[in-house]
Amino acid sequence: MPIEILMPALSPTMTEGNLIRWLKKEGDTVKAGELLAEIETDKATMEMEAVDEGVIGKIIISGGTEGVKVNELIAVLLEAGEGMQDFKPKKAVPKKEAAPLPEVQEAAVQPSVATVASTDRIIASPLARRVAHENQIDLTKVKGTGPRGRIVEADVLNKAGGQLSVPMSGENSYIDVPLSNMRKVIAKRLTEAKRDIPHFYLTIDCQLDDLLRLRGSFNARPGVDKLSVNDFIIRACALALEEVPEANAAWHDTVIRQYRDADVAVAVAIDGGLITPLIRQAQTKSVRALSLEMRELAQRARAGKLRPEEYQGGTFTLSNL
C-alpha cells in the first residue's frame, strides 16, 4: 500500500522546519538509505534519508517551503504496481502553497538572476543573492567559499573587486535579510536567557606567558598538528568543573542537578549563525585529543554535518570572542 512520507523531527527540539529542496522528483525510484530532501532545522541543514523503497508518486510539499510542521505529509511513496488512486490519506492533505524561500523570490525580479536561482547547483546565502542582484553579478561566475561551496556575501564582493553600487538614501538604502531557522532560535534563546536568568559578570586578568611557552614547545615538534590557546582553555575548563562540581550544574525547578562529566560545548561561528559542538567527558582527554576532536567537530559544523547529539546536552559553554 502507498507509504506516507512525513516531515521528520531531526532534532529533539524541532517542531517545524524548512523543506529546502527535493533530491528526488515524482516518478523517481527510491531505495532505502538514499537521500530524499534537504531540511533546514533550528540548528543546521540536514539531509533526509528514505526508510522504504518504491517510486515517488506525489510530492505534496514543494521544495522551498518554510514552516512545515513535524509529521506533516510531504510526499507519497508507491510500491510496485500501485498508483496514486490507491492512496488513502490518514488525514486531510493540507492545501499549503509552495512558498519559495526569500532568496528565490528576490531572484525572480530579474531574468538573468532567476535562471541562476532556479538551478539546484547554485547554493548561495540570501544576502549574497541580494547583493548579486542589485549589482548585476552573475552567480554562476562566482566561486563559493562557504560550506559545500556555498556562495556568501564576501564572495560576491570579491568578484566585484569592491566596485559595488550602494544606494545611499531612499527606499533602496537598506536590505532586509531573511532569517534562517537558526537565526530565529538564536534570537529567541538569547532573549529568554537575558530576560529570565539573573546575570552577573566576573572579570579576571590572566598572565599566559607560561601557557604560551608550553604551547610553543608542543608546536615546535615536527609532524604534529598545531595546538591553539583555545585547546588549553577547553582543558582548563574541564579540570575546573571536575574540581568544583557545584559549578558543573543546572537548575531543574525542584533540584540542582550536578553532572559527573564535564561535557564542554564550544561555540563555532558558521555561515548564517552559531552552533556549539560538544566535547563529552572533556576532563578525561589530553590537550592534543581535545584539539583533534574540536577541529573535526568544527569542520563538520561548518559543513552542516553535525548530528543533534553532537551539539545538544552540554554542561558548560565556552565562547571565544
- Reading the block at residue 184, the C-alpha cell is 530565529
Distances (CA, A) of 314 to 82, 96, 164, 228, 238: 47, 37, 43, 22, 12
pLDDT for 173 equals 65
pLDDT above 60 for 95: no
Distance (Å, whole) CA 188 – CA 194: 10
Q: What is the 3-state secondary structure (H, E, C) of 62-102?
A: CCCEEEEECCCEEEEEECCCCCHHHCCCCCCCCCCCCCCCH
% helix, strand, coil for the chain, step of 5: 35, 20, 45
pLDDT for 170 equals 52
Tens digit of each residue's pLDDT (9 = 90 or more) over 141-168: 888 887 667 788 788 888 876 555 544 4
Tens digit of each residue's pLDDT (9 = 90 or more) over 112-137: 433 333 334 578 776 778 788 878 88
Q: Are 17 and 74 in contact (CB under 8 A)?
A: no
Instruction: Provide the 8-state DSSP code for 61.
Output: S
pLDDT for 94 equals 52
pLDDT for 153 equals 78
Mean pLDDT to the nearest integer, 173-187? 79
pLDDT for 91 equals 63
Distances (CA, A) of 303 to 21, 23, 58, 157, 178: 17, 18, 30, 22, 21
Distances (CA, A) of 134 to 109, 169, 281: 10, 15, 49
pLDDT for 266 equals 95
% residues pLDDT > 90 (the chain):
38
Q: How would you list the strands of the sheet with 278-279, edge to edge? A: 278-279, 264-266, 316-318
Tens digit of each residue's pLDDT (9 = 90 or more) over 230-240: 999 999 999 99
Distance (Å, whole) CA 71 – CA 321: 39
pLDDT for 42 equals 73
Q: How many residues does the chain have?
A: 321
- The neighbouring-strand residues paired with 38 are 21, 47
Helices of type H across 152-266:
153-160, 181-196, 209-219, 229-243
pLDDT above 90 for 217: yes
Mean pLDDT to the nearest integer, 211-216? 93
Distances (CA, A) of 143 to 51, 110, 111, 155, 190: 35, 21, 21, 7, 34
More confident residue, 86 or 60: 60
pLDDT for 235 equals 96
pTM of the model: 0.52
Burial of 266 (0-12, 13-18, 19+ CB in 10 A): buried
Mean pLDDT to the nearest integer, 249-257? 90
| Mean confidence (pLDDT) of the chain | 82
